Structure 1
Amino acid sequence: MKIAVLKETDPLETRVSATPETVKKFISLGADMAVETDAGTAAGFSDAQYSEAGATVGDRAATLDGADAIFCVRGPDPDGLSGAKPGARLIGSLNPFGERERVDAYAKAGIEALAMEFMPRITRAQSMDILSSQSNLAGYKAVLDACAEYGRAFPMMMTAAGTVSAARCFVMGVGVAGLQAIATARRLGAQVSATDVRAATKEQIESLGAKPIFVEDVEGIEGEGTGGYATEMSEEYQKAQAELVSSHIAKQDVVITTALIPGKPAPRLISDAQITTMRPGSVIVDLAVEQGGNVEGAVAGEVVEKHGVKIVGHRNVPGRLAADASALFARNLYNFLSAFWDEEAKKPVLPEDDEIVQGVTLTRGGEVVNERLTAN
Structure 2
Amino acid sequence: MRTSASKGPTMPNPQLHPETPSIGVVRESGADERRVALVPRAVASLVAKGLDVVVESGAGAEALMGDDLYLEAGATLGDAWSADIVLKVAPPTDAEIARLKTGATLIGFLAPRNAENKIAALQNAGIVGYAVEAIPRISRAQVMDALSSQANVAGYKSVILAASLSTRFFPMLTTAAGTVKPASVLVLGVGVAGLQALATAKRLGGRATGYDVRPEVADQVRSVGAQWLDVGISAAGDGGYARELTADERAEQQKALEAAISTFDVVITTALVPGRPAPRLVTAAAVHGMKAGSVVIDMAGETGGNCELTVPGETVVINGVTIASPLNLPSTMPEHASELYSKNLTALLELLVPGGRLDPDYSDDVVALSCVTRDSVSNRN
Q: Which amino acid aligns with 2:156?
A: Y
Equivalent residue number for residue 272 of structure 1: 284
Following superposition, the deviation at residue 44 of structure 1 comes to: 0.9
Equivalent residue number for residue 44 of structure 1: 64
Following superposition, the deviation at residue 365 of structure 1 comes to: 3.2
Post-superposition Cα deviations, 1:103-156, rounded to whole Å, max 9, x if no partner, equal 101110101111000110111100000100000110000000000100111000
Equivalent residue number for residue 22 of structure 1: 42
Of residues 355, 358, 362 in structure 1, which corresponds to 2:372?
362
> Which has the higher relative contact order, 1 or 2, with Cα contacts under 8 A spaced 6 or more apart?
2
Following superposition, the deviation at residue 341 of structure 1 comes to: 3.5
Following superposition, the deviation at residue 229 of structure 1 comes to: 1.2
What SS class does the counterpart of residue 30 from structure 1 fall into? coil
What SS class does the counterpart of residue 256 from structure 1 fall into? strand
How far, CA to CA, are the matches of 1:100 and 1:367 in structure 2? 22
Spell out the pairing of 1:189-338 with structure 2 (5 A cutoff): 189-216=205-232, 221=234, 223-338=235-350
Inter-CA distance 93–83: structure 2 relative to 1 (3 Å threshold)? closer
Residue 147 of structure 1 pairs with residue 147 of structure 2: no
Q: Compare 91-100 and 35-44 and name the one that shifted more.
A: 91-100
Identical counterparts, % of pairs: 42
Following superposition, the deviation at residue 243 of structure 1 comes to: 1.7
What SS class does the counterpart of residue 134 from structure 1 fall into? helix
How far, CA to CA, are the matches of 2:305 and 2:96 in structure 1? 30
What SS class does the counterpart of residue 350 from structure 1 fall into? coil
Equivalent residue number for residue 374 of structure 1: none
Of residues 33, 57, 67 in structure 1, which corresponds to 2:53?
33
The number of aligned residues is 359
Q: Compare 123-132 and 226-235 and name the one that shifted more.
A: 226-235
Equivalent residue number for residue 9 of structure 2: none
Of residues 76, 88, 102 in structure 2, which corresponds to 1:56?
76
How far, CA to CA, are the matches of 2:152 and 2:228 in structure 1? 20
Post-superposition Cα deviations, 1:271-313, rounded to whole Å, max 9, x if no partner, equal 1111000000000000001111001121122111112100011
Inter-CA distance 290–83: structure 2 relative to 1 (3 Å threshold)? closer
Post-superposition Cα deviations, 1:80-117, rounded to whole Å, max 9, x if no partner, equal 24343221110000111225552101110101111000
How far, CA to CA, are the matches of 1:321 and 1:367 in structure 2? 37
How far, CA to CA, are the matches of 1:94 and 1:368 in structure 2? 20
Q: Which amino acid aligns with 2:80?
A: T
What SS class does the counterpart of residue 344 from structure 2 fall into? helix
Contact (CA 8 Å) 2:97, 2:122: kept in 1 or not? no
Q: Compare 298-307 and 124-133 and name the one that shifted more.
A: 298-307
Equivalent residue number for residue 373 of structure 1: none
Q: Which amino acid aligns with 2:160?
A: L
What SS class does the counterpart of residue 240 from structure 1 fall into? helix
Contact (CA 8 Å) 2:254, 2:283: kept in 1 or not? no
What SS class does the counterpart of residue 107 from structure 2 fall into? strand
Inter-CA distance 199–341: structure 2 relative to 1 (3 Å threshold)? same
How far, CA to CA, are the matches of 1:322 and 1:269 in structure 2? 29
Contact (CA 8 Å) 1:303, 1:313: kept in 2 or not? yes
Q: Compare 252-261 and 202-211 and name the one that shifted more.
A: 202-211
What SS class does the counterpart of residue 88 from structure 2 fall into? strand
Residue 69 of structure 1 pairs with residue 89 of structure 2: no
Equivalent residue number for residue 179 of structure 2: 163
Spell out the pairing of 1:129-144 with structure 2 (5 A cutoff): 129-144=145-160
Following superposition, the deviation at residue 47 of structure 1 comes to: 0.6
Q: Which amino acid aligns with 2:167?
A: G
Contact (CA 8 Å) 2:24, 2:53: kept in 1 or not? yes
Contact (CA 8 Å) 2:128, 2:377: kept in 1 or not? no
Following superposition, the deviation at residue 205 of structure 1 comes to: 1.2
Question: How does the TM-score come out when normalised to structure 1?
Answer: 0.92
Q: Which amino acid aligns with 1:358?
A: A
How far, CA to CA, are the matches of 1:326 and 1:136 in structure 2? 12
Equivalent residue number for residue 188 of structure 1: 204
Q: Compare 201-210 and 267-276 and name the one that shifted more.
A: 201-210
Gaps of 5+ in 2: 1-20
How far, CA to CA, are the matches of 1:325 and 1:108 in structure 2? 31
What SS class does the counterpart of residue 243 from structure 1 fall into? helix
What SS class does the counterpart of residue 296 from structure 2 fall into? strand
How far, CA to CA, are the matches of 1:98 and 1:202 in structure 2? 30
How far, CA to CA, are the matches of 1:342 and 1:289 in structure 2? 39
Contact (CA 8 Å) 1:108, 1:367: kept in 2 or not? no
Contact (CA 8 Å) 1:8, 1:39: kept in 2 or not? yes
Residue 92 of structure 1 pairs with residue 108 of structure 2: yes
How far, CA to CA, are the matches of 1:159 and 1:342 in structure 2? 61
Post-superposition Cα deviations, 1:47-79, rounded to whole Å, max 9, x if no partner, equal 110111111113xxx2223x1100010122232
